[in-house]
Amino acid sequence: MIPKKPNHGQGELFEVELQSLVKKNHPLVKLSKDLDWERFDREFGQSYCPTHGRPGIATRLMVGLIYLKYLYNLSDEALIAQWLENPYWQYFCGERYFQHEGPCDRSHLSRWRKRIGESGAQLLLSESLSLNHRKGFLKLRDLNQVYVDTTVQEKHISYPSQASLLNKAREKLVKMAESAGLKLRQSYKRVGRLYMIKAHRYASARQWNRARKQVRKLRTLLGRIVREVQRKANQEQGAYFSNLLSLSQRLLCAETGSEKLYSLHEPQTEAIAKGKMYKPFEYGVKVSVVTTRRGGYVLGCKAIHGNPYDGHTLEEALSDAQNRLGRNLRGFVGVDLGYRGHGVKRTTLNVFHPRLKRMSKVQRTFVRARSKVEAAISYLKRCFRMGRNFLKGSLGDIMNPLFAAAACNLSHAIRRSSA
């Protein structure tokens, strides 16, 4: 059911009003008055049943919690704990009196993120840009010069060694078989763990042939468990085991290529090589970031699965930013050499990279300042939870960078309004 708006009628006698606790010139107090909360009520109210069910949690409260979570780089648990102690956070989320109990459980945040989906995350980013435009910080002429670059949003998984994945898949299958009442001939609990330890130790000592031998043994053990489960499971139990069995088959068969598995609980994770000496591969999803030259506002932050070539992501990233802004981008677009052969043919856009010839002095100055987008990406990763994604699934890969970009734009507004 649609969330009910809080009743701000007659005050409570023994409750402390937040207006008497907070300062009016505090950045969060100013920000709470500048945001268009009615816009969120209108858009998110469509995802609720208007007549049936229990009334949902207030939309302003949930939106405020998401903004605060990414502004201050907190987990869901830490967010709820600190919200209780901070009157400014409670005022920002629309409370009238100081609260002594948590506003919701951390699981409510997960379910609310699934409810709003990608379109809701896009709305939070769009409102952060609209706020900066209303305050005069983001001007229309700033949209004429933008930079585009890609980065990797790493997933919260352990390092995907083949030995640990094979052993973990075997352990999960054995545990599921026990819970389903299947009696296996052997679980290989002792020898499986021993082979995994030996494989890691041989690899650490750079004894690759011995390490590969232990991995082959682990693959053999997993294959035995898979075949035994397939033989003994009936039709109802087959549906229970289907997901884990398909992942185990990927581990057994696909050693290279796009079908290679890097995590059992996040099977969509990809290995992306970015040419870094200290980290040859990063495990997550590629994200295309569009920022303005002046101010460093994030216009788009789109996760793109499949690890495409950077040049093939440019058109999609620009279209995503244009749909959010509601107007066509015009002017200069600065990219690096990884975007050569991008194929973008628009009369209103000029795409520049450092190897282009016949550039004017203004255009060359614009290209030389392209490194500003690197600083914006570093800011997103270091301060706004884009360095490591803790949200689950492909939807989490898409929503996390959008929330991070929204928080980044709000931080610019807070800083400039406080100056």
pLDDT for position 357: 85
pLDDT of residue 349: 87
Q: Which two tokens stand for residue 6?
A: 């809080």
* Residue 295 structural domain: 138-158+269-418
The answer to whether 400 and 391 are in contact (CB under 8 A) is yes
Sign of the CA dihedral 263, 269, 273, 277?
negative
| Domain contains 381 | yes
Domains held by the chain: number: 3
Alpha-carbon distance 252 to 304, whole Å? 27
Domain boundary pick from 212, 228, 253:
253
Is 80 exceeded by the pLDDT of residue 182?
A: yes
Q: What pLDDT, on a 0 to 100 scale, did the predictor assign at position 10?
A: 61
Q: Which residues contact 83 (CB under 8 A, 6 or more apart)?
A: 65, 68, 89, 90, 93, 102, 103
Is residue 148 classed as helix, strand or coil in its secondary structure? strand
CATH number of the domain within which 390 lies: 3.30.420
Which of 144-153, 183-192, 250-259, 312-321 comes out lowest in average pLDDT? 250-259
DSSP string, 50-95: SSSSPPPPPHHHHHHHHHHHHHTT--HHHHHHHHHH-HHHHHHTT-
Same domain, 400 and 284: yes
Would strands 270-273 and 349-352 be described as parallel, antiparallel, or unpaired?
A: unpaired
Kindly state whether residue 109 falls inside one of the protein's structural domains.
no
Bigger pLDDT: 206 or 54? Answer: 206
Q: Are residues 322 and 379 in the same domain?
A: yes
Over 90: is that where the pLDDT of 8 sits?
no
Query: Average model confidence (pLDDT) for the chain?
Result: 92
Same domain, 153 and 290: yes
pLDDT of residue 258: 56
C-alpha pair distances (Å), 75 with each of 60, 107, 251, 389, 390 = 19, 12, 32, 11, 9
| Same domain (yes/no): 171, 242 | yes
Helix (H, G, I), strand (E, B) or coil at 13: coil
* Alpha carbon distance 186, 87 (integer Å): 58
Q: Are residues 230 and 375 in the same domain?
A: no
Neighbours of 233 (CB within 10 A): 19
Q: Which residues of 349-359 are buried (b: 16+ CB within 10 A; e: fewer)?
A: bbbbbeeeeee
What are the structure tokens assigned to 178, written together? 């026990």
Strand ranges (E), 353-418: 388-389
Instruction: Give every CB contact of residue 415 below 8 A, 6+ residues apart in sequence.
Output: none
Whether pLDDT at 254 is above 80: no
Residue 148 shares a structural domain with residue 226: no
HEC-encoded secondary structure of 331-347 = EEEECCHHHCCCCCCCC
Distance CA 20, CA 363 (A): 53
Q: Where are the beta strands (DSSP E) in 335-410?
A: 349-352, 388-389
For residue range 329-386, list pLDDT tens digits in order.
888 999 999 998 887 888 788 999 998 888 899 999 999 999 999 999 999 999 999 9
> pLDDT tens digits for 277-293?
888 899 999 999 999 99
Per-residue confidence (pLDDT) for residue 257, from 0 to 100: 54
Q: 104, 128, 148: which is the final residue of a domain?
A: 104
pLDDT in tens, 46-87: 888 877 888 889 999 999 999 999 999 999 999 999 999 999
Paired strand residues for 291? 147, 298
Read off the pLDDT of each residue in 157-177 and give the average, rounded to a whole number: 95
Contact 112, 46 (CB under 8 A): no
**8-state DSSP, 326:** T
214 by DSSP, 3-state: which? helix
Beta bridge partners of 371: none
